[in-house]
Structure 1
């Protein structure tokens, strides 16, 4: 059994990292890498998820295939929505077994094109000012009961809304007065442990970036604003950046009229006097309609048939040449 007492100061220490990144789209590949400080041989590695259960002395759940012998990597080849969560690892060796400490926590979140439940945020943005009220609710078109808002923050770790603020009504969680400690990842979780629609929420003072909560669909319009606390009007002229590169300067808003996959990345805004906003990851979803998929299937079928016909023609041509050559040899012999 893995207990909280395993969080000791003894060495060696297990260190968990993720490759290539922790924000994923459904179907992506991701690898959890567990390493032991100061040593690399003879270890057996195990991987666990962290459960949001307040007061539980053993909040770690071993993955069904979470024991991987001497291999320090745990790979998910095709990420599903339910892979969203918080992970840790541990290593052991020798008889009797000598354990490392529990590793640092590593968050992975997976977004899908059409999740069965959506996390609705009011105000409708991913960045929020301090000392304001923010409402989060899980909305299912079929039935909104049985869902709760789950939170992962540096201060609280993994918890549900009721454990942190004690203000969840049904599937709605209300933060009455935000602080920077509320910065973290929020998602909807069912009673059976299904996890959907993770959103990275940042609480900051003075300057924030207003960006969409949901992934932007390729071809749509993306509009960003730089907002300022206790300022009228709330949006002033600012510079807008993507992945540390200036893309638009001294404007009240930034508009990308036709979004493509290349626009995916980290965005932030900066005012020369008020400072800069935190960074927000903007995801772009590539949508293929049924007609597009049908055309792709037809093209692939045509190419496959064309290749087959080409090979057949070449074989027939070679056979004909061999027969002609054989007849010419016989006539020469006569």
Structure 2
């Protein structure tokens, strides 16, 4: 009897444990790629929402920015796609908090879960620059691609090249051991900290960046195209005022007319029959920033859109700082003007003080009447000469009056 009671009690305990496990909420997290809370202007970055659950349930995803449960403001550089959220050409406005919400509908209930926020800060400092050759966000299958970490002057810089593939697989090339093979199809290059892809294919698409103990480089998104036409824009921001050349490249054949579009609006038409057609922008400005694509005659073939990022003059096309000689000149000139403002009053004071000392010894300045002592002059008798002078002066005055005003 006691044995049966014990078994029943154990059965109740097991049931309670099973119910507790089933009611445990799945964990929802947002991961940032490249890792870290700092992101850099002009680069590409990716957020991914992950649900840790014991079941294979199908979840639906929704993304929020700055405030949870608030609909996203449409932005062509921001793309939310199921469990991923990508940002192209990061700007200062992209900093903030990001959430993902997952939802699962059952026959009798609906489960809604919200992740903790992923907080991103846009750094003002330009990171070391990743070099991509050719410098293009899109590349045809079978072409050659070289990716090089920032040049440090030595072969043992400690960089590791990382690739986050489109299926979220993370691969790393460790230059300490000289191995590029973890990146599919990559071989070591003759230059330091670089990997060469002799023939790219779809597995080489993804996000590329370099990491080491002191930080990371900027991140670049490369897409390997299997289409018939692509739009080539630089992978890095182009400084304002410079010239930029955009390329529309066909997979094969010659085409009589090619049209370029910016944000869906036609901006240029070329009649060149070449397989690679150019569009040049002189003195590029922020207004030229946007998504560009190209199309053949009649838009029978149309490329995917590619982002052109335009940065300030503080960074060059490859992300390195530009010389600030002009700024230094203005700083020096400002310092000189400030110095003159203090120096001129000092010179005036010195000259004034010097003149005061000289004139004080030479009695240059008259003494005011208030400073003259009151001294009574001695009484003397009028001299005969003075009396005669006074009489002569009176006679001359009378004579002049008679000539000027004769009596009628």
* TM-score (structure 2 length as normaliser): 0.49
Show the counterpart of 1:245: 265
- Structure 1 unaligned blocks of 5 or more: 47-72, 81-111, 303-334
Show the counterpart of 2:248: 226
Show the counterpart of 1:163: 182
**SS of aligned partner of 2:182:** helix
Q: For residues 76-225 of structure 1, what are the structure 2 equivalents within 5 Å?
A: 76=120, 78-80=121-123, 114-116=126-128, 118-143=129-154, 145-161=157-173, 162-165=181-184, 167-169=186-188, 171-190=193-212, 192=213, 194-204=215-225, 205-225=227-247
**How far 1:42 sits from its partner (Å)?**
9.4
**How far 1:196 sits from its partner (Å)?**
1.3
- Structure 2 unaligned blocks of 5 or more: 1-26, 30-49, 66-71, 79-86, 174-180, 272-276, 315-323, 339-408
Structure showing greater radius of gyration is 2
**SS of aligned partner of 1:165:** coil
Show the counterpart of 1:75: 119
Residues 37, 137 of structure 1: alpha-carbon distance in 2 compared, 3 angstrom cutoff: same
Residues 130, 188 of structure 1: alpha-carbon distance in 2 compared, 3 angstrom cutoff: same
The reply to whether residue 45 of structure 1 matches residue 96 of structure 2 is no
Aligned partners of 1:175 and 1:7: how far apart in 2? 39
**How far 1:5 sits from its partner (Å)?**
6.4
Q: Which one has a larger percent strand, Structure 1 or Structure 2?
A: 1
**SS of aligned partner of 1:197:** coil
Show the counterpart of 1:36: 102
Residues 75, 163 of structure 1: alpha-carbon distance in 2 compared, 3 angstrom cutoff: same
Residues 175, 274 of structure 1: alpha-carbon distance in 2 compared, 3 angstrom cutoff: farther
Contact 2:289 2:308 in 1 (8 A): yes
Show the counterpart of 2:343: none
Show the counterpart of 1:59: none
Contact 1:31 1:75 in 2 (8 A): yes
**SS of aligned partner of 2:269:** strand
Show the counterpart of 2:363: none
* TM-score (structure 1 length as normaliser): 0.58
- Number of equivalent positions: 237
CA offset digits 1:251-285 (Å, max 9, x no partner): 54222211111211111111137612222111111
Contact 2:295 2:301 in 1 (8 A): yes
Q: Which one has a larger percent helix, Structure 1 or Structure 2?
A: 2
**How far 1:156 sits from its partner (Å)?**
5.0
Show the counterpart of 2:378: none
Q: For residues 309-324 of structure 1, what are the structure 2 equivalents within 5 Å?
A: none
Show the counterpart of 2:56: 9
